[in-house]
Amino acid sequence: MKITVIGSGYVGLVTGACLADTGNHVLCIDLDAGKIDRLRRGEIPIHEPGLDTVVARGLAAGRLRFSTDYAEAVAHAAVAFIAVGTPSDEDGSADLSHVLSAARELGRRMERDTLVIVKSTVPVGTSDKVRAAVQEQLQARGVPHKVSVASNPEFLKEGLAVEDFMRPDRIVVGTDPDDHRAKDIFREMYAPFNRNHERIFFMDVRSAEFTKYASNCMLAVRISFMNELANLADRLKVDIEQVRRGVGADPRIGPHFLYAGAGFGGSCFPKDLRALIHTSEESGEPAELMRAAQNVNLRQRRLLGQKIVAHFGGKLDGRTIALWGLAFKANTDDVREASSIDIIDALLQAGARVRAYDPAALETAATALKGRAGVSLVRSAAEALEGADALAVVTEWLEFRSPDFDDLARRLKSRVLFDGRNLYDPFAVRRAGLVYQGIGRSGVGE
Ligand SMILES: NC(=O)c1ccc[n+]([C@@H]2O[C@H](COP(=O)([O-])OP(=O)(O)OC[C@H]3O[C@@H](n4cnc5c(N)ncnc54)[C@H](O)[C@@H]3O)[C@@H](O)[C@H]2O)c1
Ligand SMILES: O=c1ccn([C@@H]2O[C@H](COP(=O)(O)OP(=O)(O)O[C@H]3O[C@H](CO)[C@@H](O)[C@H](O)[C@H]3O)[C@@H](O)[C@H]2O)c(=O)[nH]1
């Protein structure tokens, strides 16, 4: 099948590369000429495990191509994904300007009946706006082509994007009920990912759009709830890690996404919560639970910084804090809305210097932290410890999982370890002579 993908970021690039890998001829386009140049040379502009191999295979086979040209995109295929960004607008709603601009560009050039598939995360009703934007352009040109619009939200996780796309737990597809052509296209396109179990959930377009927000917001609420419990556990001298295991063993709850920590970040949960809260309030009902989850998370992102400042009696003048992990989660270079930024700000404000290291996010963090004096981004975990009083671990990268605590105790002047992801055994840390502070584990091993 010939497929065009508009927007070659985390979602567009993974979608395009994986669909090329299963035999389709895919043209990915983007407005960012620098990104497209790099992709043409086989360079991957983001850190996403396994993506380089899939892109290289597609380029070598001639099934994956990149362009900045909408005319080429429209000429290439009668099936076009829109996978551009939908950032938060000032009022929290999803900014649809990129999506609608892509739709207009398609309409301006369409030369045949086309299926437009909205893959970006968009509020209920957006597919109607996309259809109207394309049709307006077709009418202005006086051409009779039909546009069919479907919703196919993406559920991949950064750091596991290729794996998630290749082995989806579900493929949500919203079409008009009588759009049999669109359904056939989806069945054919996703057949390689749908061999052993039925993964495709066909539904109406509005329900598909809503399913994406419902999933992300449910997960975000769950994390905030665990974080609230963790903070209570801290006050009660309970170990939230033992509680997590006990609670997660109930099959009605399950063990996943129950990790308390330094708050959730990334380009999706915070933004999608804001958008659904906005939608809910616009429709006449306050989104009480989601607002609470949002507030808990804003507090949680500041918590580790506050714990560090409090440990040193409210002032960090002359102190150096080593920070391991800048990305919002492991296995990505993405620092969008990462807790590390809030923590660094709290430390700088209290007068500290920060030496931060991340295995993949040094470049993106350098951009995000531009203008903040007092932060040094360094090239290794060991380098971050040089001259440091304390260590704060913010991202759960594998390479931070089992440090030599005796060595840390020798290097850290004030011998204190702040574990923002509850990665360590407090007993082992304390045995090495370090003070341990996690999230919801204040009494453990004391
Ligand atoms: N990142 C994720 O893990 C993830 C997962 C599922 C869904 N989503 C959703 O997918 C969408 C895209 O997210 P992303 O993380 O891939 O974003 P991104 O910022 O990484 O990529 C978007 C790309 O679109 C390009 N672009 C913007 N306007 C364009 C236009 N008019 N024409 C062509 N290209 C254009 C940008 O230059 C950029 O390269 C968002 O709605 C997001 O919420 C993201
Ligand atoms: O138990 C947990 C699990 C996650 N997190 C944090 O939650 C954030 C998001 O993590 P994750 O969901 O793994 O990453 P994303 O790549 O943002 O993926 C989410 O957002 C995507 C974009 O919409 C969706 O496609 C995915 O299904 C959804 O999991 C990160 O800051 C994590 O540290 C926790 O604090 N505790």
Separation of first and last alpha carbons in the chain: 62
Q: Is residue 287 pLDDT above 90, yes or no?
A: yes
CA 18 to chain centre: 18
Express each pLDDT in 143-193 by its tens digit. 999 999 999 999 999 999 999 999 999 999 999 999 999 999 999 999 999
pLDDT exceeds 90 at position 9: yes
Residues 75-91 pLDDT 10s: 999 999 999 999 999 99
Report, as an integer, the average pLDDT of 306-316. Answer: 96
Most distant pair of Cα atoms in the chain: their distance: 78
Looking at the DSSP bridge assignments, the partners of residue 82 are 6, 118
Q: Is 217 a catalytic residue?
A: no
Mean per-residue pLDDT for 57-80?
A: 97
Q: Would you say the CB of residue 265 lies under 6 angstroms from ligand 2?
A: yes
Q: Quick one: pLDDT band at residue 445, thresholds 50, 70, 90?
A: low
- Mean pLDDT, to the nearest integer, of 53-71? 98
Tell me which of 84, 88, 120, 329 to substitute to probe ligand 1's pocket, judged by most ligand atoms within 8 Å of the beta carbon. Answer: 84
Residue 275 token pair: 């958008």
H or E element, residue 322:
strand 320-324
Per-residue pLDDT at 85: 98
Residue 101 CA: which ligand 1 atom is closest? 31
If pLDDT is split at 50, 70 and 90, which confidence band does 285 have? Answer: very high
Q: What letter does residue 53 receive in the DSSP assignment?
A: H
Is the pLDDT score of 443 beyond 90?
no
- What's domain 216-437's superfamily in CATH? NAD(P)-binding Rossmann-like Domain (3.40.50.720)
49 is written with which tokens? Answer: 């495990």
**pLDDT bucket at 197, cuts 50 / 70 / 90:** confident
- CATH 3.40.50.720 intervals, the chain: 2-203, 216-437
**Phi and psi angles of residue 342, each rounded to the nearest 5 degrees, phi first:** -65, -40
Average pLDDT over residues 268-285: 97
Q: What is the pTM of this model?
A: 0.96
Read off φ and ψ for residue 120, nearest 5 degrees. -60, 155
349-365 pLDDT, tens per residue? 999 999 999 999 999 99
Structural tokens at position 218: 């449910």
Sign of the four-CA dihedral 363, 157, 15, 341: negative
Helix (H, G, I), strand (E, B) or coil at 417: strand
Q: Ligand 2 centre and the CA of 159: distance in Å? A: 10
* Beta-strand relationship, 79-82 and 25-29: unpaired
Atom of ligand 2 nearest to the CA of 157: 16
Residues 112-124: tens digit of each pLDDT: 999 999 999 999 9
DSSP per residue, 116-132? EEE-S---TTHHHHHHH
What spacing in Å lies between the alpha carbon of 178 and ligand 1's midpoint?
Answer: 29
Please tell me the distance from the alpha carbon of residue 310 to that of residue 312, in angstroms, as a whole number: 5
Type of residue found at 48: E
Percent of all residues in the chain with a pLDDT value above 90, rounded to a whole number? 98
How far apart (Å, rounded) are the C-alpha atoms in residues 191 and 185? 10
Compute the distance between CA of residue 380 and CA of residue 324 in angstroms, rounded to an integer.
9
How much is the average pLDDT of 135-141?
A: 97
- Closest-CA residue, ligand 1 atom 21, reads 9
Paired with 393 in beta bridges are 324, 419
Please give the Cα distance from 15 to 121 (Å, whole number): 14
Q: How far is C-alpha 64 from the geometric centre of its chain's CA atoms?
A: 24
Report whether pLDDT(368) > 90: yes
Residue 170 marked as a ligand binder: no
C-alpha 191 – ligand 2 centre gap (Å)? 27
**Amino acid making up residue 173:** V
Q: What separation in Å is there between the alpha carbon of 121 and the centre of ligand 1?
A: 9
Strand 200-203, strand 114-118: pairing: unpaired
CA 66 – CA 75 distance, rounded (Å): 14
Q: pLDDT band at 195, cuts 50/70/90?
A: confident
ipTM rounded to 2 decimals = 0.98
Question: Which atom in ligand 2 lies closest to the alpha carbon of residue 155?
Answer: 25
Which amino acid is it at 348? L
* Domain 2-203 class in CATH: alpha beta
Nearest CA to ligand 2 atom 19: 157
Query: Any known ligand binding at 159?
Result: no
User: Does the annotation list 96 as a binding residue?
Assistant: no
List 2's β-bridge partners, or say none: 25
Ligand 1 pocket (Cβ < 6 Å) reads 6-12, 29-32, 35, 83-86, 98, 101-102, 120-121, 154, 156, 158, 267-268
Token pair listed for 346: 């709290």
**Hey, which residues does 196 pair with through a beta bridge?**
none
Q: Quick one: CA torsion of 214, 216, 218, 223, rounded to 10 degrees?
A: -170
